[in-house]
Amino acid sequence: MSKLRTAFIFLALATPALLAGDYDAMFSAMKKSWPTCETVAVVCDANGSKAALSALTGAASGMKVIVVDVKGPQDMGKAIGTLTNRKPDAIVLVAGDHVAGDGSSAASFLIQRMAGIKIPTAATTEAGVKQGAALGIGPGTGGKLMSNAKVAAVAGVAVPAGATAI
C-alpha cells in the first residue's frame, strides 16, 4: 500500500512540472511572433483548471495574466464583455478545461469574437489551431509549431516563422 501511495504522491507533485512544459514552448513562440504581447487572458473554470493555471502563469514570466472564471457556457457572454473591456494582447486556451477548452463550442465562440476585435488566440493542441487559434505548439501538436493563417490575418497578427499552416 505504501508503494502505491508514494507513486500517487510522486505523480501529484510531478503534474504541475509536466504541465509547465506544455506552456513554455507556447509562450516562447508568442513572444517571438508577437513581441508586443504583454498581457494574456485565460477563460476557464478556474477551480477545475487550477493545475493548468498554475503552470500557465509560471510559464508566462514577464507577462500579465488575466483569468476570467466561467462555470458554464452561459457565462461566455459576460466573459467576452470582460475581455472586450480589458483588451488583453492575446487569449490562451486551456486544453482540458471543461467549459472553454479546445474543441468546445465556447472556445469557438471566444476565438471568433476575439479575432473580430484583433485579439489572437494561442493553444497547445492541433485541435485548438484547427478551431481557430492563430498559434499552437505543445504536446497536442506533437511539438510542432502550427498556425491558422486565416485567423491570424483576421486578428491582425503575424504567422509565426516556420509554422505549419492548418
Residue 141 belongs to a domain with what CATH number?
Answer: 3.40.50.2300
Grid cell 493563417 in the structure block, residue: 149
Tell me, yes or no, whether 3 lies in a domain. no
Tell me, yes or no, whether 12 lies in a domain. no
Which strand (E) or helix (H) includes residue 131? helix 126-131
Contact 110, 135 (CB under 8 A): no
Check pLDDT > 60 for residue 13. no
Tell whether pTM > 0.75: yes
User: Residue 75 gets which letter from DSSP?
Assistant: G
Tell me, yes or no, whether 13 lies in a domain. no
Tell me, yes or no, whether 7 lies in a domain. no
Task: Compute the average pLDDT of residues 11-26.
Answer: 59
pLDDT for the residue numbered 19 = 52
How many domains are there within the chain?
A: 1
Tell me, yes or no, whether 133 lies in a domain. yes
Domain residues for 107? 19-165
